[in-house]
Amino acid sequence: MNEIESKTLYLVPTPIGNLEDITYRAVKVLSNVEYIFAEDTRVTKILLSHFNITKPVLKSYHEYNENEASEVIIDLLKNNHTVAIVTDAGTPGISDPGYVVVKKAIQEHLKIVSLPGPTAFTTALVASGLSTNTFSFFGFLDHKKSAKRKTLENLKDRSETLIFYEAPHRIIDTLEIMYEILGDRQVVIAREITKKFEEYLRGSISKILEQGFNVKGEMVILVEGAKQTQLESKLNDLSIEEHYNYYLQQGLNEKDAMKQVAKDRKTSKSNIYNYLLKK
């Protein structure tokens, strides 16, 4: 590995439970930078102590001071200092602080080095048994029931694996809302990943709710995507204009939306275009 570079922002993942999961490169970077900005300095002190890292100055960087701390970090980098960012567990920027300072560093044309490392949702996904070909990660669902319902309503027709983080005191309520909106799909609940009591619960939503489980610890919810037959049935009931608008809402541009509508309806794109032109 090259020496630590000045004017470079290092994004350093930390273990999500098992300290043995840290990489040699991560330890080397943390040992040699001048400053480490941490989500919770108390948590990071334990990590640094475990690996006998004493050199860096430790400062706070969390969701409540992210803008102010980002300015401090940028100033340090501009003055040729070396800086690393860590969170309590996992990769900076993934449901944790990191995005703001990265954006500012890019605007200032500063170099960014992102180290590979632990992320709870990818660790859970590959062991889930659900499709890994396409998936979407949404972080934590809103704690308000109305907002949670709205999000799930917007996602219910998505065919890829859906991944969420959830707090233990909200997990049962969230599963009940998922059952109501998404139907009785296959889900996987991954809890305490890489820790002593790591557990994967697999089955239908109703089965998992019925059998019950230990609701302690950080959790990842992985949900089977909508079956193609379910989606096809819904689309068949739409008008051409509604069909087209559905794909626009899914993020397709106008050209691709028309192409997909034509494919679904087994007709030409020009026919769809001409129909929409008349509306």
Does 27 fall in a domain?
yes
d(CA 96, CA 39): 8
Q: Are residues 94 and 170 in the same domain?
A: no
Which helix (H) or strand (E) segment holds residue 113: the answer is strand 111-114
Q: Are residues 22 and 93 in the same domain?
A: yes
Q: Are residues 156 and 208 in the same domain?
A: yes
Q: In which residue are the tokens 């940028």 written?
A: 74
Does 3 fall in a domain?
no
Does 56 fall in a domain?
yes
Q: Are residues 240 and 164 in the same domain?
A: no
Q: Which of these three, 207, 225, 243, is where a domain ends?
A: 225
Q: Which of these three, 85, 114, 143, is where a domain ends?
A: 114
Please check whether residue 153 is in contact with residue 178, taking contact to mean a CB–CB distance below 8 angstroms. no
State residue 261's pLDDT score.
81
Residue 85 sits in a domain whose CATH number is 3.40.1010.10
Q: Are residues 213 and 140 in the same domain?
A: yes
State residue 21's pLDDT score.
96
Residue 220 sits in a domain whose CATH number is 3.30.950.10
Does 180 fall in a domain?
yes
Backbone angles phi, psi at 94, to 5 degrees: -100, 100
What is the domain extent for residue 270? 229-278
Q: What is the mean pLDDT of each run of 10 residues along the chain (279 residues)?
A: 84 96 97 97 97 96 95 97 97 95 97 96 98 96 95 92 96 96 96 94 96 88 86 74 84 84 81 75
Q: How many CB atoms lie within 10 A of CB 145?
A: 13
Q: Are residues 41 and 67 in the same domain?
A: yes
Whole-structure pTM value: 0.81
Does 2 fall in a domain?
no
State residue 101's pLDDT score.
97
Helix (H, G, I), strand (E, B) or coil at 53: coil
* Number of domains within the chain: 3
